[in-house]
Structure 1
Amino acid sequence: MQHAGLRDGLPAPAGGENLLFLTDEQIRRGIEAMYFAYRAFTSDPDLILDEIGYGRAHHRALHFINRDPGLTVTSLLEVLGVTKQSLNRVLRALIEDGLVDSRVGRRDRRERQLRLTDKGAALERRLSEAQRARMKAAYRNAGPQAVAGFRQVLEAMMDRDTRAQFQSLLDAPTAGARG
């Protein structure tokens, strides 16, 4: 059921007269800003990953396993939205290199639960430190209203299923998260 004033699950602007109309040029600039911001956001971890022969998929796996120790392979597949074959390649490398520990599930022996080893946690911390510092500096510089607006824009870009998945992630405890 859709709540009055909500469009695609997001609050409608206060008063229809305050709708934001953007030109194609402004939209293009926003898209380009996203590309350049993402490039800057990933640049520091990319240097570290390149040194050890890993890619961004390895970083994302480390991030979400760190966030939720005991995460199942099936849950990680859902969060990352990658193929089983692609994730298996990434996990195999992380396990063989001693960064991730994979154990049989306690409740369901068919499940594989994932945890970072101490070595994996240290790498995840190293990869994420610069990103956290970059986000903190940007948030501080932009101010609380801009931060709230930025998050609204990001969430508005997500389709309904992705937004629900993101919200469930926000609602979950963050046992492994730091800082």
Structure 2
Amino acid sequence: MAEQLRSQTMVGEDLLFLTDDQLRRGIEAMFFAYRAFTADPDLILADIDYGRAHHRAVHFIHRDPGLTVTSLLAVLGVTKQSLNRVLRTLIDDGLVESRVGRRDRRERQLYLTDKGTALERKLSEAQRARMRAAYRAAGPQAVGGFRQVLEAMMDPETRSQYQAMKDLPEER
């Protein structure tokens, strides 16, 4: 037991002094993992002439029905012009519905239609399957550690947006 604890401590200490090569390998792993993570949805999106911006908008509208355009802008960190282009396409194609705000009539609240919900499900099923397989292969400790690393990489504003999303109900 003492030997195992000492071994774990040494591993933890080693992580505090990562070499440039170890950091570079981590960066490369992130690039390749992201490419794999987006590959399946990219194929689905290409069939309907959509891109990753459409995917992200659909994801976050699904995650928080009634999300305002202003809030979606903040979450995505894109310009109003680029988001308007994406939303216009999603609305025109019948995937997203824009409703007048209940508290403030100047606000536009966004909701997925049944067609939008079906697309979101198709996109996220592929990513959930990949994530589930990776988590199972890595084990429970790696799951928590991976999330900790990702959260530690976020700047404070992004982390607070992420925390707010974590507090939403899981599936609707």
- Aligned partners of 1:119 and 1:142: how far apart in 2? 35
- Aligned partners of 2:170 and 2:20: how far apart in 1? 40
Change (3 A) 1:148 1:175: closer
- 1:6 alignment counterpart: none
TM-score of the two chains, using structure 1 as the length reference: 0.87
SS of 1:103's equivalent in the other structure is: strand
User: 5+ unaligned residues in a row in structure 1: which ranges?
Assistant: 1-13
Q: 1:145 aligns with which of 141, 144, 155?
A: 141
- 1:49 alignment counterpart: 45
Give runs of aligned pairs for residues 49-128 of structure 1, distance below 5 A.
49-128=45-124
Deviations 1:72-121 (A, max 9, x none): 11111111111100100000000000000001011110000110000000
Q: CA deviation at 1:20?
A: 1.8
Q: CA deviation at 1:172?
A: 2.6
Q: 2:19 aligns with which of 20, 23, 26?
A: 23
- Aligned partners of 1:29 and 1:173: how far apart in 2? 35
Q: CA deviation at 1:173?
A: 3.0
User: 5+ unaligned residues in a row in structure 2: which ranges?
Assistant: 1-8
Deviations 1:141-174 (A, max 9, x none): 1111011110111011111111111111112334
- Aligned partners of 1:123 and 1:112: how far apart in 2? 22
SS of 2:98's equivalent in the other structure is: strand
Moved over 6 A (4+): none
- Aligned partners of 1:50 and 1:42: how far apart in 2? 12
Q: 2:127 aligns with which of 121, 127, 131?
A: 131
- 2:33 alignment counterpart: 37
Letter matched to residue 105 of structure 1 = G
- Aligned partners of 2:170 and 2:75: how far apart in 1? 15
> What's the C-alpha RMSD, in Å, of the aligned pairs?
1.6
Is the 1:68–1:174 Cα contact (8 Å) retained in structure 2? Answer: no
Q: CA deviation at 1:175?
A: 5.5
Identity of aligned residues (%): 80
* Aligned positions, number: 162
- Aligned partners of 1:45 and 1:69: how far apart in 2? 21
- Aligned partners of 2:163 and 2:61: how far apart in 1? 17
Letter matched to residue 117 of structure 2 = A
- 2:167 alignment counterpart: 171
